[in-house]
Structure 1
């Protein structure tokens, strides 16, 4: 299956660079580009991509609101937020708006391609060390919402352990090793966590974990 991608960035050189990288693959095709949020909405509606690479700071409609509208629209393509800095105050807002993760603009070509494939497959580009630092930096400033803490009560002890390790940024394989479980069992537990807490994906699970204080400082 070919993965259809739309590039959204107000810098032509950035879009050109990403297009050159993605065009080198056999399974990814760039079906559209946009220099601002309003044009992005039109382009997404016209091309119906699988994945959108979304800049945050753009004239007019910014990347956060554009992401929110795409995700709540008739054709909710999955969105990867693009950022210049590893601690960007807008990234968390983008994740809350429905993005499936974020990527630094200076990421290696292989990382860009991998991120697009991962997100297109329904997973999230979530919880590398830089993501953990970002989420911890912003979410930990506020006290845990009482409702979020109450929702933890729906989890079993094992499910809470899995959520804690996900929040710390461990992969399923690493969690399996830490808890002496099979990787398939970890996936089952994580699926139940997402269902019980009404979370969309791993990114939301990481944010929820920080909000509830499961990880109180940058690991």
Structure 2
């Protein structure tokens, strides 16, 4: 059973999220909190798997509450659920230790899927939040010391050599094809290794090996950076490389 704490200062939102989560198989809300400070206390008391965290709340906001929760227990997976998609908010939340960032106008099924993905080690990111982090069309991006897990420099050797892009990928993108493209596409949707394995009919160990190979090929060090790279280069979009035919 995936244990969830809901932190939001609006009673109707908390009630709606509790109803939504409790109706899902294998997921339950163990506590609610109306502000960040109480959210930190609830996380410490109930030891949830996932915390659904609003950002704008009285007193301690969602970013600071996230930081305190993760510092106290790194096993807790915080997923921000907010109406704010701008880049600074996304960077602050991820920099504080959140593993996911969803928007409140998402489909209910997307929120539940995000909770499941986070609990299984995934990084659910709303596409609009992901786009807010991407460099502009000139390729320039503003360094942010608070950003979570920045991409590593490309590795030396054959894996880092530029090659032709896969069909549908952005020009100049490294080649990620075949099974690796399928894995990257699902990773960009926020699925955890276990979920990817189930969908592709391969073992979780095999998925992990593909993920490591993809990281080396595109020169990133974590799932969030890989998901952002995938969406920027066409691998995370419907009809792009790796997507179902």
Q: TM-score, normalised by structure 1?
A: 0.72
Alignment partner of 1:131 is 2:129? yes
Post-superposition offset of 1:154:
3.4
Post-superposition offset of 1:188:
2.0
- Residue of structure 2 aligned with 1:190, choices 196, 200, 211: 211
Question: Per the alignment, do residues 5 and 143 of structure 1 end up closer, same or farther by CA in structure 2, a change over 3 Å counting?
Answer: closer
Unpaired runs of 5+ residues, structure 1, are 169-174
Unpaired runs of 5+ residues, structure 2, are 184-201, 238-245
Conserved 8 A contact 1:159-1:189: no
In the aligned structure 2, how far is the partner of 1:155 from the partner of 1:188? 19
Q: Any residues of structure 2 matched to 1:1-219 within 5 Å, and which? A: 2-74=1-73, 76-87=75-86, 89-126=88-125, 128-136=126-134, 141-143=141-143, 151-154=152-155, 156-158=157-159, 178-182=176-180, 183=183, 187-191=208-212, 193=215, 199=221, 201-206=222-227
User: Number of aligned pairs?
Assistant: 194
Regions of 4+ moved over 6 Å: none
Question: Per the alignment, do residues 155 and 62 of structure 1 end up closer, same or farther by CA in structure 2, a change over 3 Å counting?
Answer: farther
Conserved 8 A contact 1:5-1:29: yes
Conserved 8 A contact 2:66-2:78: yes
CA RMSD of aligned residues (A): 3.8
In the aligned structure 2, how far is the partner of 1:29 from the partner of 1:159? 44
Post-superposition offset of 1:131:
2.8
Question: Per the alignment, do residues 143 and 68 of structure 1 end up closer, same or farther by CA in structure 2, a change over 3 Å counting?
Answer: closer
Question: Per the alignment, do residues 186 and 68 of structure 1 end up closer, same or farther by CA in structure 2, a change over 3 Å counting?
Answer: same
Query: When you count helix as a share of all residues, which structure comes out higher?
Result: 1
Question: Per the alignment, do residues 70 and 143 of structure 1 end up closer, same or farther by CA in structure 2, a change over 3 Å counting?
Answer: closer
Q: Give 3-state SS (helix, strand or coil) of 2:3's partner.
A: strand
Conserved 8 A contact 1:7-1:54: yes
In the aligned structure 2, how far is the partner of 1:136 from the partner of 1:28? 32
Conserved 8 A contact 2:153-2:220: no
Post-superposition offset of 1:49:
0.2
Conserved 8 A contact 1:48-1:75: no
Post-superposition offset of 1:87:
3.0
